[in-house]
Chains A and B, each alone.
Chain A
Amino acid sequence: MADLTEIFLDEAQELLEQMEPLILELEKAATVGTLEELFRVAHTLKGSAGVAGISGVHALAHQLEELLDCLRAGELKMNSELADALLEGFDVLRSLLEKLAQGRDEQPPPALLGKIARLAAVDPAQTCEETARGGEEPPGARVPPLEDSDKLLLQKALADGRNVFYLELDFAADFFHRGHNLDYLLEDLSELGEIVGLRLDGRKVPPLSAIEAEEYYLFFSLFVITEEDLQAIADVFIFVLDEKNKLNLWPVSPADLGALGPRQKAAPPYRVEHAQEVLRQQEKALAAASTEVLPGLTASVWKIIRRVADSFGLSCPFSEGIQSDSQAEKELLSRAIADLKEQLKEAAGIAAGDKKEAEKSVTPDREAVTFSREKARPQSFLKVSRDTADALLNLAGELIIAKNALPYFIKNLEAAGREDLARDLKEKYGYLDRIAREFQERVMDIWLLPIAQIFDRFPRFVRDYSKKANKKIHLVCEGKETRLDRNILENIYEPLLHIVRNALDHGLEEIEERQRKGKKPEGILLLRAYRLGERVVVQVADDGRGVDGDALAQKAIAAGLVSSARAAEMSYAEKVNLLFAPGLSTREAVSELSGRGVGMDVVKETTERLGGTVQVESEPDRGTTVTLALPFTLATNEVLLVNVGGGLYGIPLAAVRETVRYARRDLKTVRGRALAVLRNEILPVSFLHRCLGAHESEAEEITLVVLWQKVALSVDRVLGKEEIIIRPLTGELKKVPLFLGAAVLGDGRVLLVLEPNVLAKEAC
Chain B
Amino acid sequence: MLREIDRKLSSEQRVIFTEPGLDAAGLQLIIALKKEFPELEVVLTGGGPGALFLSLLKNEVTVRAEDFSR
Contact = CB atoms under 8 A, between A and B. Distances in A.
A198 B24 contact: no
Contact of B33 (A208, A210, A216): A208
B52 A205 contact: no
Interface in A195-211: 195, 198-200, 202, 205-211
Specify which of B3, B5, B23, B35 lies most central, judged by the most chain A CB atoms within 10 Å of its CB: B35
Given A183-B50, A200-B56, A208 B37 contact: yes
A217 B49 CA distance: 20
A572 interface: no
A182 interface: yes
A218 interface: yes
B3 A209 contact: yes
Nearest to A209: B6
A81 B51 CA distance: 51
Interface string B17-54: 00000011101110111011100000000000110100
A202 B59 CA distance: 14
Contacts of B56: 198-200
Contacts of B1: 213
Nearest to A215: B28
B61 interface: no
A150 B49 CA distance: 23
Contacts of A181: 23-24
A202 B6 contact: no
Given A209-B6, A213-B2, A200 B27 contact: yes
B55 interface: yes
Contacts of A206: 32, 35
Nearest to A189: B52
A200 B3 CA distance: 26
Given A186-B52, A198-B52, A207 B36 contact: yes
Nearest to A211: B32
A713 B21 CA distance: 87
Contacts of A199: 56
Contacts of A465: none
A660 B5 CA distance: 80
Given A200-B56, A208-B35, A217-B28, A183 B23 contact: yes
A206 B6 CA distance: 13
Interface residues of A, number: 22
B9 interface: yes
Contacts of A190: 52
Contact of B49 (A183, A195, A207): A183
Given A200-B56, A202-B31, A218-B24, A208 B5 contact: yes
A156 to B, nearest CB: 20
B9 A218 contact: no
A439 interface: no
Interface residues of B, number: 23
A153 to B, nearest CB: 15
Specify which of A181, A182, A209 lies most central, judged by the most chain B CB atoms within 10 Å of its CB: A209
B23 A205 contact: no
A209 B32 CA distance: 8
Contacts of A208: 2, 5-6, 9, 29, 32-33, 35-37
Contact of A207 (B24, B27, B35): B35
B25 A213 contact: yes
B4 to A, nearest CB: 11
A176 interface: yes
User: How would you classify the secondary structure of chain B's contact residues: helix, strand, loop or mixed?
Assistant: helix
B48 to A, nearest CB: 10
A426 to B, nearest CB: 66
Given A182-B23, A206-B35, A211 B28 contact: yes
Contact of A205 (B5, B9, B31): B31
Contacts of B31: 202, 205
A216 B27 CA distance: 10
A217 B31 CA distance: 10
Contact of A216 (B2, B24, B37): B24
B2 to A, nearest CB: 6
A206 B31 CA distance: 8
Contacts of A205: 28, 31-32, 35
A58 B11 CA distance: 65
Interface in A206-232: 206-211, 213, 216-218
A236 to B, nearest CB: 15
A203 to B, nearest CB: 9
Contacts of B37: 208
Contacts of B24: 181-183, 216, 218
Contact of B29 (A182, A183, A195, A213): A213
Contacts of A182: 23-24
Nearest to B1: A213
Nearest to A182: B24
Contacts of B27: 200, 218
A59 to B, nearest CB: 40
Contacts of A218: 24, 27-28
A20 B28 CA distance: 45
Nearest to B27: A218
Nearest to B22: A183
A208 B2 CA distance: 7
A195 B32 contact: no
Contacts of B32: 205-208, 210-211
Interface in A163-198: 176, 181-183, 186, 190, 195, 198
Contacts of A195: 52
A714 B10 CA distance: 94
13 contacts: A181-B24, A182-B23, A186-B52, A199-B56, A200-B27, A205-B31, A208-B6, A208-B32, A209-B2, A213-B25, A216-B28, A217-B28, A218-B24
Given A208-B9, A210-B32, A216-B24, 11 more contacts: A183-B49, A183-B50, A195-B52, A200-B56, A208-B5, A208-B37, A209-B3, A209-B36, A211-B28, A213-B29, A217-B28
A-B pairs, top 4 by smallest CB distance, nearest first, are A207-B36, A182-B24, A208-B36, A202-B31
